[in-house]
Amino acid sequence: MLENISSTKVAGGWHKQYTHPATSTHCTMRFAVFLPPGASETNKVPVLYWLSGLTCTDENFMQKAGAFKKAAELGIAIVAPDTSPRGDNVPNDDNYDFGQGAGFYLNATQAPFNTHFNMYDYVVDELPELIEQHFPVTSTKAISGHSMGGHGALMVALKNPKAYVSASAFSPIVNPINCPWGIKAFTGYLGNDKSLWAQYDTCELMKLAKQDDYLPMLATQGGADGFLEEQLKPQNLVAVAHEKAYPLTLEMQEGYDHSYFFISSFIDQHLLFHSQFLTA
């Protein structure tokens, strides 16, 4: 069922793109995988899942983050799914922050989006099962992401603390129920009942976390990020983490913006952070 559409050697390993029919999103999905040198059926490696932000595909991180050399050195595979279902039959919106390219890693309940926009099920269940079945990887995994994908990574980890060994994010949308991007997306995908929104909000989920389920978390935020005050609100998550004594580290990097220039500057730090737990 997997179709390999590209294969490129890099940093001694391989970057490959695949498409496959997905049952959770009822359409053809695409993902990319980086396999470090030496990965084989007799030498399986752990996986870092990367969730990208608004308007992105699997290609943004793989082409711009500069993660391969460090991942190769550490022996970590990286898997990057697309940010939403796509296709002529998949509903869309004219704006960049809703519809295709803006799945927000949730399961939609509102028509017409509820048929295809089940990115939570895809990322949490379907994709890892596919990866572990077809590639030389272990079931040990961590999760990271950027912006909307940072929201996805932290949210997914909090909802599935036994499935991941660590979580990190760059410029995450940590409190989507209280920012314009999140309010628009959650209204469109989940409806007007705000009591249903909290299940996908990192701040709200962390408030409910039990100490036995705590995961090491790292968030890196650019101080010159134009979305910092209105959309990202990292201080909201820091306040919850402080109250809960949750092991979250927020690192503010002055002068950096929201772009992949920022991500590429600190991706090695995130890979080293995850490596402590992926290879323990």
CATH of the domain at 251: 3.40.50.1820
Residue recorded with tokens 């590209």: 6
Q: What are the phi and psi torsion angles at 82 (to 5°)? A: -70, 170
Average pLDDT over the chain, rounded to whole? Answer: 98
SS3 for 232-275, per residue? HCHHHHHHHHHHHCCCEEEEEECCCCCCHHHHHHHHHHHHHHHH
> How many domains does the chain fold into?
1
Task: Round to whole Å and give the CA distance between 196 and 10.
Answer: 43
Catalytic residue among 15, 258, 270, 274: 258
Predicted local confidence at residue 274, as pLDDT:
98
Task: Round to whole Å and give the CA distance between 9 and 159.
Answer: 35
Domain with 209 in it? 3-278
Cβ contact 168:151 at 8 Å: no
pTM passes above 0.95: yes
Catalytic residue among 24, 144, 147, 171: 147
Instruction: Mark whether 258 is an active-site residue.
Output: yes
Instruction: Mark whether 171 is an active-site residue.
Output: no
Question: pLDDT class for 13, splitting at 50, 70, 90?
Answer: very high
Predicted local confidence at residue 224, as pLDDT:
98
Instruction: Mark whether 225 is an active-site residue.
Output: yes
What amino acid occupies position 177?
Answer: I
What amino acid occupies position 43?
Answer: N
Catalytic residue among 171, 225, 270, 275: 225
Residue 262 has pLDDT above 90, yes or no: yes
Predicted local confidence at residue 280, as pLDDT:
82
* Overall average pLDDT of the 201-206 stretch: 98
Quick check: bond before 112 cis, omega within 30? yes
* Overall average pLDDT of the 106-117 stretch: 98
Residue 166 has pLDDT above 90, yes or no: yes
* Overall average pLDDT of the 78-90 stretch: 97
Question: pLDDT class for 1, splitting at 50, 70, 90?
Answer: confident
Q: Which residues have a Cβ under 8 Å from the Cβ of 257 and sit 6 or more positions away?
A: 222, 224, 225, 226
